[in-house]
Chain A
Amino acid sequence: MSTLTDTLALAASGMRAQAQRLRHVSENIANADTPGYHRKFIDFRPAAIAGDAFGQESGVTPGPVRLDRGELTRIYDPGHILADETGHYEGSNVDLMVEIADAREAQRSYEANLRMFDQARQMSQSLIGLLRR
């Protein structure tokens, strides 16, 4: 495989990883009001891509899902079925502000990878276009 097709595969691995990240963000937002829900997040790690010319881990893959061990918010609602003797129950530890920022960051990284993909494709196309003249 040539370097430019490697670039295509690398950009695709980056886009896949960011899509996975956005998936967990949407999962967190959907469960923002679920009692006892811990925020989920993933970290990225290097991975080999198919047909890697350099024989090393140059792509990216999302790591295993991890749970945020942060403290759950205590919500006062004596009428709630989960409320303890003080009238509080434990909500989720999802911070919507953090999730929205994370989603925006995933979008920007996705766009950057998309731009790289397009760039590599245009470069290959113009290289082959030289033969046609």
Chain B
Amino acid sequence: MQVSASMAARSYGAARPLTSPEAEAAGSPASAGARLAGDFAQVLQRAETTAQQAMTGDADPHALVASLSEAQLAVETAVAVRDKVVEAYLEILRMPV
């Protein structure tokens, strides 16, 4: 099969948009990750505020327990996701090239 230079250039040109990174869309993984991190920080912040209020006697123990459990679950989720990400990264590193 004969491949002319112009045809090869056209094929390369057609393939290039597929591999180039797209502009950040609203539902892209990066923005979802940022929103998740924001939510996580918010949960921790709320737990901290409630704990401080409970120590000074402004919040009742029920609110303290509820927000601390919520924070505990959020931290456990974050740790589990982080472990998965690190595991996947190590898997890629071990890949024979």
The closest CB in chain B to the CB of A1 belongs to: B70
Interface size class of A (residues with CB under 8 A): 10 to 19
- Closest A residue to B75 by beta carbon equals A128
Could you give, for residues 104-119 of chain A, a 1 whenever the CB lies within 8 Å of some chain B CB and a 0 otherwise? Answer: 0000000000000100
B65 and A124 contacting across the interface, CB-CB below 8 Å: no
Question: How far is it, in angstroms, between the C-alpha of A4 and the C-alpha of B70 when the chains are bound?
Answer: 10
Tell me whether B36 is interfacial, beta carbon within 8 Å: no
Compute how far the CA of A19 lies from the CA of B62 in the bound complex, rounded to whole angstroms: 10
CA distance A113 to B68 in the complex (A): 17
Check B66–A9 contact: CB distance below 8 A: yes
Nearest to A120 among chain B residues (CB) is: B69
Q: Out of A16, A124, A132, name the residue touching B73 (CB < 8 Å).
A: A124
In the bound complex, what is the Cα–Cα distance between A8 and B60 (angstroms)?
Answer: 15
Given A128-B76, A131-B81: A8 and B62 within 8 A (CB)? no
Residues of A within 8 A of B (CB): 4-5, 8-9, 11-13, 15-16, 19, 117, 121, 124-125, 128-129, 131-132
Q: Could you give 14 example pairs across A and B, Cβ below 8 Å?
A: A5-B70, A11-B66, A12-B66, A13-B62, A15-B62, A117-B65, A124-B73, A125-B73, A125-B76, A128-B73, A128-B80, A131-B77, A131-B83, A131-B84
